[in-house]
Structure 1
Amino acid sequence: MNPQRPLPGRTPPAPRRAVLLGVLAAAQFTVMLATSIVNVALPQIRAGAGLSDGDTTWVVNAYGLAFGALLLAGGRAADMLGRRRVLILGLALFAAASLGAGLASSAGTLIAARAVQGLGAAAIAPAALALAMELSPSGAERGRALAVWGAVSGAGGAGGVLLGGVLTQAWGWSWIFYCVAIGSALVAAAVVLLVPAVPAVPAVPGRTADREPAKFDLLGTAAVTLALTSLVWGLTTARSAGWTDGPVLYALAAAALLLALFVRIELRRPNALIPPRLFGTGRVAVGNLLMALLGSIWIALFFFLPLYQQQVLGASPLVTGLGQLPLAAANMLGSALAPRVRRRLGTTATVTGAMLTEAAGLLWLSRISADGSYLADVLGPSVLVGLGLSVAFVQLTDLAVEGVPPGDAGLAGGLVNTTRQVGGTVGLAALATLAGSVTAHAATHQSHLQALTAGYRAAFAVSAAVMAATGLLAVVLIRPLRQSLLNRRITIQKEVSS
């Protein structure tokens, strides 16, 4: 017997599970950190690497494009090849790409390294989440694990802005990538030393590794990857080229056709990348839909808030990063409280309340002014947004992975990360276009700072409306779902007793 493999069904003791969860959460933190760490350093990166306006945009977009397009493939690969193995390979690739980005001296090299970073992240995120769910299969322990996941996800986004500001001001922009490379290598070493190797879980009930192993759905994977690539590229390019630009329209049309082709393929293949059984309880579909809407605001928040602090309030990269600490603290507090709030109020009320809290914070941010201050305009709403965002993230992640067959856990993790990432790309493209249009119109009769502020205010106001509508949608979708599941359990119990 391989000494690295625990006996089937054996659960590590509680202290050991806590250590393993900490290692896996560190992998998730690294992925989220890389999403936002470059935002505050973009002016310095542009000057240091000699980037044009378009190149600077793709320093952000290349990572998000590869990450969002390949998450489903990463999740299925983790299920079939082994989650620990895929996690280690993803972290190694992530570290190498981060080092390459720090050493880059040209725009092409830097953008290519960011794309490879996204490829590594697409392997890390679903594999780490699936392993974490294996440690906490159900009950209060799963709630605590998801609370940790929510805390590190939110802290990674806010921490990226803080760390990016500190490193850029102290040692230069290259060190934001060196730091990520070092952190990724340390997490990979911890996974090798501490996380036990376990056999891949059969994706199809009744199959074993020795009998009819499931095949990888290459055709479906290619279709959905190309579809997501076209969609993300079209949306990110629309921010600068406009929604009526020819290549943007072609990319969006190609995405629609490829998604239709993907659905057709999946309905006909026994080894589908996204098998129908994944949606057997109905919770996966609802969780992913609401997570996409939450993600549409999440990524935009960490894009617009640092811009307002630097471009309007005149804060340095370091001060801008420090300004994210209250948001990160509120996020961690909300994540810790989420399981307790859910037990007291129920899933529907918790998700709705969290989203309305976030909407209130975003509405408050829509009142920022060109002559404002951090204390008056940013601090209070940041705390509200952090609390609402974290609680909603924890509960929606739970919805999206609960009740999923063990062999599909990696895919479920990839799917919920995909919807959040793609939702964020859609939201950021739409909100950036809106903000740019409002700023351009306001610039004809207002000062530059006032015009910028008008654009940011519009983005925050629309974000608040989207979150409020999502909270109401949660009531419509989750409550009937819970009643349906309850009726199903009652029926099963009656059949068993008779």
Structure 2
Amino acid sequence: MNAVRTQTGRAAPRAPRPGAALAALAAAQFTVMLATSIVNVALPQIRSGAGLSDGGTTWVVNAYGLAFGALLLAGGRLADLLGRRRVLIAGLALFAAASTAAGLAASSGVLITARAVQGLGAAAIAPASLALAMELFPSGPGRGRALGVWGAVSGAGGAAGVLLGGAVTQAWGWPWIFHSVALGSVPVLAAAVLLVPVGPGIWSAERPTGRSGGQSGGRSGGLSGRFDLLGTATVTLALTCLVWGLTTVRGAGWTDARVAGALGAAAVLLAAFAVIEARSPDALVPPRLLRAGRVAPGNLLMALLGSVWIALFFFLPLYQQQVLGSGPLATGAGQLPFAAANMLGAGLAPALSRRAGARAAVTAALLTEAAGLLWLSRLSADGSYAADVLGPSVLVGLGLGAAFVQITAFAVEGVRPQDAGLAGGLVNTTRQVGGAIGLAALTTLAGSVTARASHSVPAAEALTTGYRTAFAVSAAVLAATAVLALLLTRRAGAPSGTTTPTTEHLSHTG
């Protein structure tokens, strides 16, 4: 690489290459989503190979989700303060090391700890990479296309995790699902180092100033001020209690004392967090962030979408394996049509928004996904993949891809450049927490329906009855979300002095 010399003799920074940089950032997001779902199909093999109990097996999934969901806000704010590229690279390095440790784990404790550290790395990667993508495309149709790529890789990463997990487990055994993630993280890390440049302009978040409330001279406006340690500790502990309580519900039930204690502690800590933030001059979640553009309604819609999204990846593979009798590889391959439809929906989202308006587009996308889930609520215990899964999964994928892109656009609309990392952390947090709440509620509901049905019908039919109920309720949630999207996303304004992103330029406001 040839550098241009400035008058001071220093090498001038490379001119940003938006396409290459976006590819590196999207690959980082894909890696995070891949790790979220790659263990799902391999859990029976992990349980027997690592000598885990049923509860310990659950924590192979929960440890990652708990650390990821609880630390996203902190990761986003640290990215704003310390430099987004720097935090992204550190997160990728930690993620790769933890993935290697999980594959080499000789005990259940090491495996679960490594998964938690993976989640810590992911909590740095996800908000930093989204904030960098926002800097790369500050406004206009380019940002719409960038978010289309973002939506495509997010959905495809989840589906690819199921496919890769099944294929690798069947071919080489469960440790290689973690080794494959580690090996895949290395080129992503190299791409981030080489293709995401440092320099003035949109990359100046790498050089925060020292004055509170100030802004660096570059376009991205590196955040200054102090880190809100008390607020961060409070909300992280609150989210930890909340996510732990909700994930424990699946095994212990809502009346368990540990669950009630964790959820009660989460409520108290969240209330304390609200008080702390109202009084802090350097609040972790400043009120201006929630007042900007359509950030608040966007995050509410993302929480509702996440509650259904994560549950889908939980129930559909179970139906394929426990009812249809598919193996790990066939179950993973069955996710390919969904992944293709998801990528198509995400790619079409900007054009749909320009033609129909953002509100109409997101409403139509949510109703499309709801229709697919309603179709899944007609699953048969003696059905087949082609008859019962293929068609509705394509419909769900189309709707999910388009909805994710537009809701993400709402959630970052009008955000000040110096808050971009926090905005990325917030929208990822609401998706994770919404997913934890939705999955806990839907698994409890499906389990109770299955238990009642098992007294009068065969086991496969009882399981299918529970899955049908979960999908029917998910469809109703998305239909209600579509109505909320119409009611809550009317306002398109942004505060003075902010960068107004996607929806103002990406689409009509409806």
Name the counterpart of 1:262.
273
> 2:196 matched to which residue of 1?
195
Residue identity matched to 2:304 = L
Q: Distance in 2 between matches of 1:472 and 1:280?
A: 21
User: Does the 8 Å CA contact 2:234/2:269 hold for their aligned counterparts?
Assistant: yes
Instruction: Determine the C-alpha separation between the residues in 2 that align with 1:353 and 1:145.
Output: 21
1:335 is aligned to: 346
* Residues 4 and 196, structure 1, Cα contact 8 Å, conserved in 2: no
Q: Does 1:349 align with 2:360?
A: yes
What is the identity, as a one-letter code, of the residue corresponding to 1:161? Answer: V
SS state at 1:199 partner: helix
Query: Offset at 1:4?
Result: 7.5
More helix by share: 1
- 1-side partners of 2:177 and 2:369: how far apart? 29
**Aligned residues of 2:65 and 2:432 also touching (Cα < 8 A):** yes
Q: Call closer, same or farther: CA 1:187–1:80 in 2, change over 3 Å.
A: same
Please give the secondary structure, in 2, of the residue aligned with 1:369. Answer: coil
- The corresponding residue for 1:41 is 42
Distance 1:359 1:326 in 2: 18
Partner of 1:494: none
Does the aligned pair in 1 maintain the 2:303–2:433 contact within 8 Å?
yes
Which of 414, 418, 422 aligns to 1:403? It is 414
1:83 aligns with 2:88: no
Aligned pairs (5 A) from 1:407-422: 407-422=418-433
Superposition deviation, residue 28 in structure 1: 0.1
* Residue 191 (structure 1) shift: 1.0
| More off after superposition, 201-210 vs 403-412 | 201-210
Encode CA deviations 1:176-232: one digit per residue, 9 max, x unaligned: 100100111211111112211243256965444999941000000000000000000
Distance in 2 (alpha carbons) for counterparts of 1:21 and 1:4: 24
Paired letter, 1:53: D
Please say if residues 213 and 225 of structure 2, whose CA atoms lie closer than 8 Å, have aligned partners that are also in contact: no
Change over 3 Å in CA distance of 1:367–1:2 after alignment to 2: farther
1:428 aligns with 2:433: no
Preserved contact between residue 223 and residue 419 of structure 2 (Cα < 8 Å): no
- Offset, 1:5: 6.8
1:324 to 2:342 alignment: no
**Is residue 334–residue 386 contact of structure 1 (8 Å, CA) maintained in 2?**
yes
Q: Give the match for residue 62 of structure 1.
A: 63
Aligned AA for 1:61? Answer: N
Moved more, 280-289 or 358-367: 280-289
Deviates more, 1:275-284 or 1:462-471: 275-284
The whole-number CA distance in structure 1 between the counterparts of 2:183 and 2:9 is: 30
Query: Are residues 107 and 4 of structure 1, via their aligned partners in 2, closer, same or farther at CA, if it must alter by over 3 Å?
Result: farther
Task: Tell me how far 1:279 sits from its aligned partner.
Answer: 2.3
Q: CA, structure 1 residues 43+141, in 2 after alignment: closer, same or farther (shift >3 Å)? A: same
Amino acid at match of 1:33: L
Residue number in structure 1 paired with 2:126: 125
CA distance in 2, matches of 1:205, 1:73: 18
For residue 75 of structure 2, what is the aligned residue in structure 1?
74
Distance 1:442 1:126 in 2: 43
For 1:243-300, what per-residue CA distance to the aligned partner results, in whole angstroms no more than 9, with x for missing partners?
0000100100000000000000000011000011212334110100000000000111
CA distance in structure 2 between the partners assigned to 1:373 and 1:4 by the alignment? 62
Question: Are 2:155 and 1:154 equivalent residues in the alignment?
Answer: yes
> 1:136, 1:261 → 2: CA distance?
37
Q: 2-side partners of 1:387 and 1:485: how far apart?
A: 30
Instruction: Find the aligned partners of 1:267 and 1:397 in 2 and give their Cα distance.
Output: 26
Deviation larger for 193-202 or 118-127: 193-202
Share of identical aligned residues, percent?
A: 73
444 and 264 in structure 1: CA distance in 2 versus 1, 3 angstrom threshold = same
Structure 2 partner of 1:27:
28
Name the CA shift for 1:485/1:133 in 2 (closer, same or farther; >3 Å). Answer: closer
- TM-score w.r.t. the length of structure 2 is 0.91
Sort the Cα spacing of 1:440 and 1:3 in 2 relative to 1 into closer, same or farther, 3 A. farther
In the alignment, is the contact (CA less than 8 A) between 1:83 and 1:127 conserved in 2? yes
Q: Give SS of 1:64's match.
A: helix
Q: Which residue of 1 aligns with 2:247?
A: 236
Inter-partner Cα distance in structure 1 for 2:9 and 2:151: 34
Measure, in 2, the Cα distance between the counterparts of 1:348 and 1:211. 32
Rounded Cα–Cα distance in structure 1 between residues aligned with 2:442 and 2:9: 52
**Structure-2 separation of matches of 1:421 and 1:2:** 48
The match for 1:492 is: none
Q: d(CA) in 2 for partners of 1:280 and 1:465?
A: 29
Which deviates further from its counterpart, 204-213 or 79-88?
Answer: 204-213
SS in 2 for 1:215: coil
Quote the residue 1:180 is aligned against: 181
| Contact residue 321 and residue 331 of structure 2 kept, 8 A | yes
Does the residue aligned with 1:372 lie in a helix, a strand or coil?
coil
**What is the root-mean-square deviation in Å for CA atoms of aligned residues?**
2.0
2-structure distance, mates of 1:309, 1:284: 37
Q: Distance in 2 between matches of 1:354 and 1:221?
A: 35
Compared CA separation, residues 474 and 239, structure 1 to 2 (3 A) = same
Q: How many residues align?
A: 479
Contact kept in structure 2, 1:5 and 1:196, CA below 8 Å:
no
The partner residue of 1:385 within 390, 393, 396 is 396
> Contact (CA 8 Å) 2:214, 2:225: kept in 1 or not?
no
Query: Contact between 2:213 and 2:224, CA under 8 Å: does it hold in 1?
Result: no
- The amino acid of 2:92's aligned partner reads L
Q: Is 1:245 the equivalent of 2:246?
A: no
**Partner of residue 507, structure 2:** none
Equivalent runs, 1:453-464 vs 2, <5 Å: 453-464=464-475
- Number of the residue aligned with 1:376: 387
**TM-score (norm: length of structure 1):** 0.93
Q: What secondary structure, in the 3-state scheme, does the structure 2 residue paired with 1:273 have? A: coil
| SS of 2:41 mapped into structure 1 | helix
Q: For structure 1, which runs of at least 5 residues remain unmatched after alignment?
A: 490-498
Asked if 2 retains the 8 angstrom alpha-carbon contact of 1:341 and 1:350, the reply is: yes
Following the alignment from structure 1 to structure 2, what is the Cα–Cα distance between the partners of residues 400 and 4?
Answer: 37
Partner deviation per Cα, 1:323-359 (whole Å, 9 max, x = no partner): 0000000000001100000000001111110000000
CA change 1:127–1:446 in 2 (3 A) is same
1:361 aligns with 2:372: yes
